[in-house]
Chains A and B, each alone.
Chain A
């Protein structure tokens, strides 16, 4: 009788162990399927290998060039105006707001920085957490303009 009990206990142990092993294997196969889809979907955000700089944004850079080439309300090219004054006027800031909010999604936080003096262009503030894209153009040896966009 004792021997039969021991056999039943041993069999139960192995049956349960088998079920657990099969369960783990099934979960692993399922996970590898999901993982392959996630890992193998190559996109520009996740694939630093495809872009030398992970946060590089060519369209943002193009827009910044475009903004600097635009004439301000006084008819002066913004690039030359910044070069002369070493700062950005309120009118130019307003234009930057219109330009950069229209090329980005509504929910983004956008800031422009001239010589490290940062001005927020949107109501939403930049946060320490979250992915930021930024592009910088050197105006001359001492000054630079930077645009920062956070999703």
Chain B
């Protein structure tokens, strides 16, 4: 009886165990399958190394054995405000000043973060492109002069850095310089030609555009302005003290700049802004990929070593000195991902890589070159 009991029980236990082992086998097999699937299902992320390779390739193209290729930057002094060019008549001085304005504005244009900026300015009928819009404002504000006199000893920027000799508006208002920035409202050194232009563009014109592009009523005339017209209106102010026909007056200067700066402002002219001469063409980069949209972006910034400064902001090192020149190519929309990436890296955004190196221009001026590259390709690298 006892033997019979044990014998029966043993068979039952064996059956239960074999089912259990089968279940364990299944669980372990599923686990191994899961591990292999998870490991091989995630793609190789080659975006960073692609970005690094692109930086290396561009750096080789820009600088050969320590000398900057003149097609990118022949001489950094041509872009600064040292005012070496001379003029004798007011028109000649306006021409020199206007060319400097175009050079400065085109250098900062990519940093403004407005896509198709030239197209939006043109389609609204205010100017031929963004640089010419700034020329029109400078013409209206100061007749395109930075100093009290159009020139001294042939130098149209003889006053640069000397507030006493910088052109000031008549009356109580403390507006100075080429862009007539009101120092009662804005915290800026107006005696500095380049600083005044950059401030006027970035902190006044573009800021007004961002704030009022949806439209705003100008109460003194009951006119409603939007987009760039609102930005121009904002440049002069929305209060009662300004020029009520400021927008119309600035737009009326379109003809003046077209006549005097046909190389920049003639109908149909699009300033390639010294930036977009096409790095991809110059450096034989192929931006084509299996995707429809452009998957790459590359930007090259030139800084003068003599005034090169960096500062730490929220643990990140940021270059605080003024750009001498910028080139970019590729999909501009990827640039915003680089700005976000400064805070945190998101898997499904394009990956940005940055590199800096040193070189000298044709006149042996020391230059720091920063190259930023962005590679998207998220479909193949991050999904």
Q: In angstroms, how far is the closest chain A Cβ from the Cβ of B68?
A: 9
* Complex: chain A residue closest to B41, CB-CB: A36
B56 touches A (CB below 8 Å) = yes
Q: Which of B30-38, B225-233, B272-280 lines the interface with chain A? A: B30-38
B94 touches A (CB below 8 Å) = no
Whether the Cβ atoms of A32 and B49 lie closer than 8 Å is no
Query: How many angstroms between the C-alpha atoms of A66 and B357 in the bound complex?
Result: 9
Whether the Cβ atoms of B49 and A67 lie closer than 8 Å is no
Whether the Cβ atoms of A59 and B66 lie closer than 8 Å is no
Q: In angstroms, how far is the closest chain A Cβ from the Cβ of B97?
A: 31
A99 touches B (CB below 8 Å) = yes
Query: Hey, what's the 0/1 contact readout for A25-66 against B, CB within 8 Å counting as 1?
Result: 110110011011100111110010010000000111011111
Query: How many angstroms between the C-alpha atoms of A146 and B167 in the bound complex?
Result: 52
A-chain residues with CB within 8 Å of residue B340 when the two chains form the complex: none
Known A32-B35, A68-B66, A103-B368; contact A59-B59, beta-carbon cutoff 8 A = yes
Whether the Cβ atoms of B42 and A98 lie closer than 8 Å is no
B-chain residues with CB within 8 Å of residue A134 when the two chains form the complex: none
Whether the Cβ atoms of B38 and A105 lie closer than 8 Å is no
A-chain residues with CB within 8 Å of residue B368 when the two chains form the complex: 102-103
Known A37-B42, A60-B357; contact A106-B317, beta-carbon cutoff 8 A = yes
Query: How many angstroms between the C-alpha atoms of A70 and B67 in the bound complex?
Result: 9
State which of B35, B42, B359 has its C-beta within 8 Å of the C-beta of A62: B359
Q: In angstroms, how far is the closest chain B Cβ from the Cβ of A40?
A: 5
Query: How many angstroms between the C-alpha atoms of A111 and B49 in the bound complex?
Result: 27
State which of A18, A43, A66, A71 has its C-beta within 8 Å of the C-beta of B24: A18
Whether the Cβ atoms of B44 and A40 lie closer than 8 Å is yes
Q: How many positions in chain B have a CB within 8 Å of any CB in the partner chain? A: 44
B-chain residues with CB within 8 Å of residue A21 when the two chains form the complex: 24, 27-28
Whether the Cβ atoms of A14 and B56 lie closer than 8 Å is no
Whether the Cβ atoms of B45 and A41 lie closer than 8 Å is yes
Whether the Cβ atoms of B355 and A69 lie closer than 8 Å is no
Query: Which A87-123 residues sit within 8 Å CB-CB of chain B?
Result: 98-100, 102-106
Whether the Cβ atoms of A43 and B48 lie closer than 8 Å is yes
Interface of A, helix, strand, loop or mixed by DSSP: helix
Q: How many positions in chain A have a CB within 8 Å of any CB in the partner chain? A: 42
* Complex: chain B residue closest to A28, CB-CB: B35
B63 touches A (CB below 8 Å) = yes
Query: How many angstroms between the C-alpha atoms of A51 and B315 in the bound complex?
Result: 30
* Complex: chain B residue closest to A63, CB-CB: B358
Query: How many angstroms between the C-alpha atoms of A84 and B367 in the bound complex?
Result: 26
Query: How many angstroms between the C-alpha atoms of A100 and B356 in the bound complex?
Result: 10
10 CB < 8 A contacts A-B: A25-B27, A26-B31, A32-B38, A36-B41, A58-B56, A62-B63, A62-B359, A63-B357, A66-B63, A67-B66
Q: Chain B: residues with CB nearer than 8 A to chain A?
A: 9, 20, 24, 27-28, 30-31, 34-36, 38-46, 48-49, 52, 55-56, 59-60, 63, 65-67, 305, 308, 310, 312, 317, 355-360, 364, 366, 368
Known A25-B34, A66-B359, A66-B366; further 13 A-B contacts with Cβ < 8 A: A28-B31, A29-B31, A32-B35, A37-B45, A40-B42, A42-B44, A44-B48, A59-B355, A69-B65, A70-B66, A99-B305, A102-B310, A103-B357
